[in-house]
Amino acid sequence: MWNYPIDENLFDKFSKYSKIAGVIFIILGIIGIVYPVFMTLATVTFISWLMIFGGFIAGYFTYLSNKNDSLGWLKSFILISIGLLMIFYPMTGVGTVGLLLAIYFFIDSFASFSLALSMRPANGWIWWLINAIFSMLIGILFIIGWPFTSTYLIGLLVGFSLFFDGFSLIITGSIFKKMIK
């Protein structure tokens, strides 16, 4: 998979561009943390446009492959319809994305609990238990006051994620820069 030796220009380019991307991610993350409602609406709008684009692509490939495939056309219609619904009624989209995130965090919590319990005598099981507890708390935060809590929680979580992704990119770029020298 990897060709050894790895081209050092790749590390140099990654180091340079990861710092630029990292700074942009940190700025976007701070915006999301300071203005979570704005980041929530931006996230829902982005998801809406992805669904609309995906619906058109699904329709195009249904047209090319089998014009009589009613399920393919239904999939395309549903994606475009839900995307448009979320664009024209963004609070409906915010509530939907918030509910989906709550379900995700509950599933993640239960999976982490079961992993922690299955690993219990081994080292590191406590970290999975802590992860499970945090995921459960985030899921509960989404459910309490739903759909109104989704208005700021989605943006806050996206903001924190972008912020820490930015730091990770900058640190990784710095490490690669040191590897070259």
Question: Model confidence over 129-148: pLDDT tens digits?
Answer: 888 888 898 889 888 888 78
pLDDT of 128 strictly over 60: yes
Alpha-carbon distance of 38 to 166, in angstroms, equals 19
Q: Give the tens place of pLDDT for each residue, 86-95.
A: 999 988 889 8
Neighbours of 9 (CB within 10 A): 9
Q: Quote the pLDDT of residue 7.
A: 62
- Residue 77's pLDDT band, with cuts at 50, 70 and 90, is very high
pTM recorded for the entire structure? 0.70
Render pLDDT for 8-18 as a digit per residue (tens, 0 to 9).
676 667 777 88
Lowest-confidence range among 3-7, 62-66, 152-156? 3-7
